[in-house]
Structure 1
């Protein structure tokens, strides 16, 4: 049983190449002795605002949203892709979480205790530089997102969100349907608008043959025009 568990942990750790590859054999054994694998059902919280960080997390399978509770709704600030790390800004800053995170769909997450990742970073320059780069990219993306949400018209914000989802999660085998099926509320929360505005804007995009919808499924028909709408603001 223990051999099977260790084998699964090793396979999982190896799949997170940016974490596994730079480590020495001793560091890899230390990591394997401490990681946990958890499954979060759809909509289950992974962490909540104001909680004290205990882990740095890596999404192995599924989809996760990071959000801030604002004016009785959850403003989505980040979508985590597979093999993406999250929850580490607060950990490195030694602060409580200012965001919450929950599963968009059933999700498998690798949980790495903060003291473990900090020890590995202190010993491994390559790993420390990776997280510095990730934090820097996150800051840049947050700056650009702030500009988009405050300066752009609702059509531009929603077009940007649809294109972001396509870039982040890709499309299905038909070559145009988004691989993620967000609710209208989720799209609204990503785009800093009301759900009713999101519904109306999606309907307008559909009538203009920019997209097609089937329940929560969204098909991108004219990506070029959506890009133009997003850029013109």
Structure 2
């Protein structure tokens, strides 16, 4: 849903461009103004679908606030979460640049705000600003490296190693709360399983085992990382 409040709409768009962590930081004032004039801010409630498999991408999507899961259905319709997206990240860009239909779906994990930019405008700025082009390539290359590493680990690591790695990735992507332990994302056990390439029952058993070993603590959907060094060791051992 497009953000209708003009002041709030403007604030979201400015946040996308002006944040120090934003890939748009290399842009000149004139280029930022060009994007601002064509940028559309969207609001999604928790659990809403941003785009679906088979849809044709309609512009560049940049997540400003919130979280989303990128998932693809496999054999027998079994869903696999291939990526967790956080603030200041692009989603749905592969299909857009490849001029293909979306191969995966994106669903919000909490209230989320993103901006949409016309593809032609972004391409125009890429051609005129090499620093922005390099920043964009670096962002995409980082995502590609993640996908390559994830493919190997999800097929070669054992259950404990896969789950430990997933928790570390969530820690890296979303961070922790003021207690410096609680992951700042609430996932169902089913989503934890889908992100770790295992069944929900295996995810529940392994999480419980980690809790008994004092590596993590479970409070409903909240997960606390109590011993990150041990979690990293389990992940390395596979």
TM-score w.r.t. structure 2 length? 0.91
CA contact (8 A) 2:12 2:113 kept: no
CA contact (8 A) 2:18 2:25 kept: no
Per-residue deviation at 1:136? 1.8
CA contact (8 A) 2:13 2:41 kept: no
CA contact (8 A) 2:12 2:64 kept: no
Alpha-carbon displacement from aligned partner over 1:91-130 (angstroms, at most 9, x marks no partner):
1111111111110111011111212211211221111111
For the residue of structure 2 that corresponds to 1:68, the secondary structure is: strand
- Work out the CA distance in 1 between the residues paired with 2:38 and 2:138: 25
CA contact (8 A) 2:16 2:88 kept: no
- Work out the CA distance in 2 between the residues paired with 1:5 and 1:97: 29
2:136 aligned with 1:131 = yes
Identify the residue that residue 153 of structure 1 maps to in structure 2: 158
2:86 aligned with 1:97 = no
Superposition RMSD in Å: 2.0
Cα gap change, 1:187 to 1:9, in 2 (>3 Å): closer
Identify the residue that residue 191 of structure 1 maps to in structure 2: 196
Per-residue deviation at 1:142? 0.9
Cα gap change, 1:96 to 1:63, in 2 (>3 Å): same
Per-residue deviation at 1:22? 2.5
Aligned residues: 233
CA contact (8 A) 1:41 1:103 kept: yes
2:147 aligned with 1:142 = yes
Identify the residue that residue 181 of structure 2 maps to in structure 1: 176
Which stretch of the first structure deviates more once superposed, 113-122 or 197-206?
113-122
Identify the residue that residue 14 of structure 1 maps to in structure 2: 17
Cα gap change, 1:228 to 1:52, in 2 (>3 Å): same
Identify the residue that residue 41 of structure 2 maps to in structure 1: 37
Cα gap change, 1:14 to 1:48, in 2 (>3 Å): same
Q: Which runs of 5+ in 1 are unaligned?
A: none
Q: Which runs of 5+ in 2 are unaligned?
A: none
- Work out the CA distance in 1 between the residues paired with 2:199 and 2:58: 34
TM-score w.r.t. structure 1 length? 0.92
